[in-house]
Amino acid sequence: MSEVKPNLFNILMYPTVKLGEKQALNRLLDNFESNDKFTPTTWGNSETTSVSYNRDEIIAKSFYDIPQISEVHLRRDKIVKYSGYFDLNSNLRSFLKFSFDKSMNGKYRKDFFELSDQIAETVKPRYGVTHISWPAVTPWQTEKERNHKWMNLSSYPVPVKFFPNGPLGIGMRTYLSGDILEMFGRDVIVKSPAVIKDLSWGGIRIDLVENPWESDLEHLLERWVEVMEYLNQVEVIAVPNFEDNMGVTFNPNNKWKDYMRN
Q: What are the pLDDT digits (tens) for 93-151?
A: 899 999 999 999 999 999 999 999 999 999 999 999 999 999 999 999 999 999 999 99
Last residue of a domain, one of 99, 125, 151: 125
Q: How far apart are CA 172 and CA 176, in angstroms?
A: 14
Going by C-alpha positions, the residue among 55, 100, 54, 57 that lies closest to residue 77 is 100
Residues 121 and 142 in one domain: no
Residue 16 lies inside a defined structural domain of this protein: yes
Asked if 231 and 136 count as a contact pair (C-beta separation under 8 A), the reply is: no
Residue 222 lies inside a defined structural domain of this protein: yes
Residue 54 lies inside a defined structural domain of this protein: yes
Residues 170 and 121 in one domain: no
Residues 99 and 200 in one domain: no
Residues 203 and 146 in one domain: yes
| 3-class secondary structure, 109 | helix
Residues 182 and 255 in one domain: yes
pTM above 0.75, yes or no: yes
Last residue of a domain, one of 92, 125, 158: 125
Q: How far apart are CA 73 and CA 81, in angstroms?
A: 14
Q: How many domains does the structure of the chain reveal? A: 2
Residues 152 and 261 in one domain: yes
Q: How far apart are CA 126 and CA 245, in angstroms?
A: 32
Residue 1 lies inside a defined structural domain of this protein: no
Residues 105 and 153 in one domain: no
Residue 42 lies inside a defined structural domain of this protein: yes
Spatial neighbors of 189 by CB under 8 A, at least 6 apart, are 176, 181, 196, 204, 206, 236
Residues 119 and 157 in one domain: no
Q: Any idea what the CATH number is for the domain that residue 101 is in?
A: 3.30.310
Residue 36 lies inside a defined structural domain of this protein: yes
Residues 144 and 26 in one domain: no
Residues 68 and 116 in one domain: yes
Residues of the domain holding 159: 137-262
Residues 141 and 262 in one domain: yes
pLDDT of 2 over the 90 cut = no
- Mean pLDDT for 157-165 is 96
Confidence of residue 64 (pLDDT cuts 50, 70, 90): confident
Residue 132 lies inside a defined structural domain of this protein: no
What does the pLDDT read at residue 261? 87
Q: Which DSSP symbol is given to 214?
A: G
Last residue of a domain, one of 85, 105, 125: 125
What does the pLDDT read at residue 1? 42
What separation in angstroms does the CA of 31 have from each of 46, 49, 102? 21, 22, 21
What does the pLDDT read at residue 68? 84
